Chains A and B, each alone.
Chain A
Amino acid sequence: MMNTNELIQRLSRDLAPVEPLWRPGSRAVAWLLAAAIYVVVLTALLAKSGSPLELASPRVWLPHLAAIATCLLASWAAFASVIPGHSRGPAVWAALAALVWITTVVVASQWHSDVATIVAARHEAACVAVIVLGGAPLLVAMVAMLRRGAPFTPGTTAAFAALAVGAITNIGACFWRPHAVDDVMLVWHGGAIVALVLACAVLARLVPLSLDAGLRRSP
């Protein structure tokens, strides 16, 4: 075992300057701006002709507003979770925003379809692809940013990151082709986001997302 004093000497010898990380809120806003540009471009490239969503209706814009708020707060929570000693406030706010978002979507959806109809709506699989595959670059970008922090709770961090990605790509998935805000969309889109969040949380624990690797860098 190395002597602690020797370790201190080794760590302080040839110490490289580091740029302190921006505050979690600033990093979240920076990521959200880049993500918004990406989603707008992606949606424009994929866009199909047809009747667009009725944005004038609160049934449509309210869930999207809640999704944007969830995205911002979830990314804030993800970036705050990699700062040692940071309060859990962002995580609570993100959870509340997600709850509000789910509520607005559930209220806006017109529940009239049976399970068979929902399962048969295979065209929604394309939206799932937009959410998951389209969100992959955003997730990679966020993981790269998160790895500069101290990911002590990789599962939670990855879950919030995936929630932020799912929330913003869901908006793109709603606009790239004509959609009805209904139970079919809720189940397919919501299912994709829930699956994304769970998969990321589990993977981050299994693979430590190599997030924890940051703590094991040798001096």
Chain B
Amino acid sequence: MTAPAQPGDALGPLMRAAQGGDAAAYAELLRKIAPQVRRVVMRQRAFAGIADVEDLVQDVLLSVHAVRATYDSSRPFVPWLLAIVRNRLADGARRYARTARREIQVDESDVTFFEVETNTDTAELGDADAVREAVRALPEGQRQAIELLKLKELSLKEAAEESGTSVGALKVATHRAMATLRRALAPKR
């Protein structure tokens, strides 16, 4: 049942040494088979991107590592390796099919929505002095809520402890303060 020797069967002794714990031989073996595996993967998965190909190559190398005890040094190395490659390719295809069934690919976009008002990252900054003045003009409770939650960026719990009020009261004060600020800072028509 032993197949005739192939050029790649020079790899057999390296794997035999690796089974014995020879790290240098193992590194050499993996470095030699990686390009061969990559070629097979690229031929079989011509549509795959570079990242996907590399992912499959690494998957094969991990499998070779996990099942290296199954290599029989009296048999040729290449058929053993190709069987692993075939299996990992089939497994990768099944994984891709499963993922494709439940996921929808969307292009990354700079903005969440197309409406100009929603693109706050590109909006011009308002007048800082006007904001400071508007905050100063807020009633005491609302101003404290804004300072603790928005300027000092404390959590609701921390702000409630510092101000001595309840979380609920802080939420209400913040909501009212934001409404007041929005009105005060709205562009004059």
Contacts and interface: CB of A to CB of B under 8 A. Distances in A.
Given A84-B87, A89-B1, A20 B63 contact: no
B67 interface: yes
Interface in B62-112: 62-63, 65-73, 75, 79-84, 87
Interface in A4-31: 4-5, 7-9, 11-21, 23
| Interface size grouping (class) on chain B | 35 or more
Interface in A33-83: 82-83
Contact of B54 (A4, A16, A83): A4
Interface string A156-176: 000000000000000000000
A218 B61 CA distance: 11
B55 A1 contact: yes
A191 interface: no
A150 interface: yes
A148 B31 contact: no
A84 B70 contact: yes
B21 interface: yes
A215 interface: yes
- Give chain A's interface secondary structure class: loop
Contacts of B70: 20-21, 82-84, 148-150
Contact of B68 (A4, A7, A18): A18
Given A85-B82, A87-B1, A17 B23 contact: no
Interface residues of A, number: 35
Contacts of A87: 1
Given A83-B72, A85-B83, A20 B66 contact: no
Contacts of A83: 70, 72
Nearest to B1: A87
Given A20-B73, A150-B63, A84 B23 contact: no
B77 to A, nearest CB: 9
Nearest to A89: B1
B168 to A, nearest CB: 47
B149 interface: no
Interface of B: 1, 18-24, 26-27, 30-31, 34, 51, 54-55, 57-58, 61-63, 65-73, 75, 79-84, 87
Interface of A: 1-2, 4-5, 7-9, 11-21, 23, 82-85, 87, 89, 148-150, 152, 214-219
